[in-house]
Structure 1
C-alpha cells in the first residue's frame, strides 16, 4: 500500500489525506497490513467492525476522489483496496460477513468503474458481475440494484441496448429500500428502454421519479449518492433526444448544467459534450462552445473516457470542418489534450 501511495501525484495525495484524515495512524497501519495480506499472503489480519468501517471509509473516499479527478489519479489504490476486501472474506467471522461483503461489493464495483473509465469495458462488466455476487452475499438489495444500474448504463454506452433493457428489468424486479436508489433505478431504466425502443415504458418510468433530491449526498448515506436534480435533468434529456423531442432535450441538458456541483467535473464535461452533439446541426457556434468548455475541463479531470467522449463528439462535428468555430475548438483541444 505504501508503494502505491508513494506513486500518487502530490496534489492527489494531499486531497486523499484531507478526505481520509490521515492523522488516523491506526487506519493507515490497518490498510497497510491488509494490503500486504492481499498481495503476498504473509499475514492474516483480524477482521473487526472497526476494521470494516475503515475499509468502507477508504472505499468511499477513493470513489469521491475519482469522481473529481478521474481514474488515472487513484486507480491503483482503488484496485488494491478491492483486492484487500476480497482477501479478508475467508478470514471474516460469520456475523460480520454480510457487512464485509457489502464493502467488498462497493470496492469491486469501484474497480469496475475505473476499468470503464480506462475504456476497458469488457473488464468493467466482468468486475460488475463479481461485485453483484458480493452484494447478493451481503443480502443488500439496494447495492444489487445499484450494480445492475451500472451494468445498464455500461450497456447503453457500448450500444448493447437489448442487454441494457434486460439489466433494467432485473433491477426493477428487486425490492428497493433507499428512495434515492429508487429514483436512480427509474432514471437509468427509462434511458435503457428509450434506446431499446420501449418508449411507453421509458416515459412511464420518467414520470415515476420523485424529484425529491435536489442535491447529491455522500456514499456513506446512499449507494446512489449522485442521484440529484442535475442527473434527473440530464437523463431526461437523453430520453427526450432518443424519442425525438430535441428541443425539450436541449432545455433539459441546459437545466442540468446549471445544477451540477463544481466538483463533478467529469459529469459536467459529459453533459456539455452531449449538448454539443445535440445542437450542432442547428447552432454550430453553440455546439463548438459547449465542446470547448468540455475539453477545457479535461485539464482538471484526466479521465481517458472523457477524452474518448470528446474524440467521438469531434468526429460527429466533422461535417463542419473548416468553419471558424471548429478551428477555434481544435486550437483549444490540441493545447489541452497534447499535455
Structure 2
C-alpha cells in the first residue's frame, strides 16, 4: 500500500475548464476531499489554495520519495468527447499504480482510445520526473460531456475509491454528502439583506479579460474591461446596500448559474464566468424596504459594448424583458469587451 499525495488542479483564481455550470477547479477539489475522507491517514492533500502549475509547487514539494502523487483534473472538448485517461512522463513505462489507476478510471468513464498517455510538454510531469517523484495526472472524464459530468457528480465516492484502490488503499466507510446531478437550478438567495444605514447605493464591479484582472470600477466613474476588442471572460459585482445577483452567458454555450459573491478565489459563488469569452450578462438588484422609503425602489442599470465594433448597446434594467428589452445586456454570439453598471 502506498501513501497518496493528492493535488487538485487549477485554483488560485484559475477555474480550469468549465461545463454545464461547473468549474474544473471546484469539482476536483470536491473529489480530492472525498479521497481524503475515505482514505484517511493514508492520504495527504495538497494545498487547495495553490495552483501547482502557476506556482511551480512541485519544484518545492517536500514529501517522502516513496509517496505517490496523483494530480486530479477534468478534460474538456467537444460535447461528444468523453472518457478518462492518465498522463505520465513521456518515455517512461507505466508502473503498476499507473496501470491500475488508468483501468479503474476508464471503467467508470469509458470512451478514450488510450488510457495512458506519455507527454513531455507538461510542466508538472517534467518537474516531478526530474525530482524523482512517482507522479501521474488523472483526467477524470470530460466536464464538457454531460454524461461524464453526471457520473462524476453522482458517483463521486466510487471515483474516489477507484483512485484509492489503484494505490492499495481500501478506505473506510464515510457519510456520503449530497451530490448535484447536473448544474443546480439557481434560486433567489435567502440571506438577509443589509439594511439602509445612511449610505447611498453604489455598485462596484471588476472583470477579467485577456487573462488579466482589471481594476474595480464604481458606478459610472469608468468602464470595466480592457477594451480594444479584448473579450471579457469573468465578472464580479457587489453593492453596499441591499443585494445583487448576476450571471453570464458563455459565447457558443449556455448561461452559467446565478451568483452573488465578489471573490476571485471563490469558484462557486465569487464571480460569474469560466475563463471563456462571455456574450451576455444579467444583473438583478433587490432594494431593502427602508432604503426604498427614502430613495425609491432601485434597479440595476447596465450596458455593454461588443467585439463587433458597436460602442454600446442600450441600457438594460435588471433582467426585465418588457418594453422591448432582451432581459440581458449583449448580443449572443458576439463577445463583450466593455461593461458599465450603476
TM surpasses 0.5 = no
Say which structure, 1 or 2, has more relative contact order (CA 8 Å, 6+ apart).
2
Is the helix fraction higher in 1 or 2?
Answer: 1
Which one has a larger percent strand, Structure 1 or Structure 2? Answer: 2
Higher-Rg structure is: 2
TM tier, shorter chain? under 0.3
Q: TM-score, normalised by structure 2?
A: 0.28
